[in-house]
Amino acid sequence: MFYGKIYVTLKKGVLDPQGSTVQRSLHALGYSNVAEVRIGKFMEVKLDSSSREEAARQLDEMCRRLLANPVIEDYTFEVTEV
């Protein structure tokens, strides 16, 4: 069994209204030293696979096909055996 950690973030230059909202809330709570907030998705995927390479290949494919929007998002992932 393998365990994938996937990080999906907005590409640089893509507006992040959610991040701006959180930043304003942090400023309102007194954290005026917060310069920027960007919000992304963190996904944990457990999958059965013949090898770590095969698990990584499948995770990459899952990101390209479903989990990340290639137009506005970047993704990275890590795979460990559990």
Least distance CB 71 / its own copies (angstroms): 19
Q: What φ, ψ does residue 73 adopt, rounded to 5°?
A: -125, 150
By beta-carbon proximity to its own copies, the closer residue of 39 and 56 is 39
| CB distance 37 to 20 below 8 Å | yes
**How many beta carbons lie within 10 A of that of residue 79, not counting itself?**
21
By beta-carbon proximity to its own copies, the closer residue of 56 and 58 is 58
Can you give the binding site for its own copies, defined by CB under 8 A?
Answer: 1, 7-9, 19, 22, 25-26, 29, 31, 33-49, 58, 62, 65-67
Coil, helix or strand at residue 54:
helix
Least distance CB 3 / its own copies (angstroms): 9
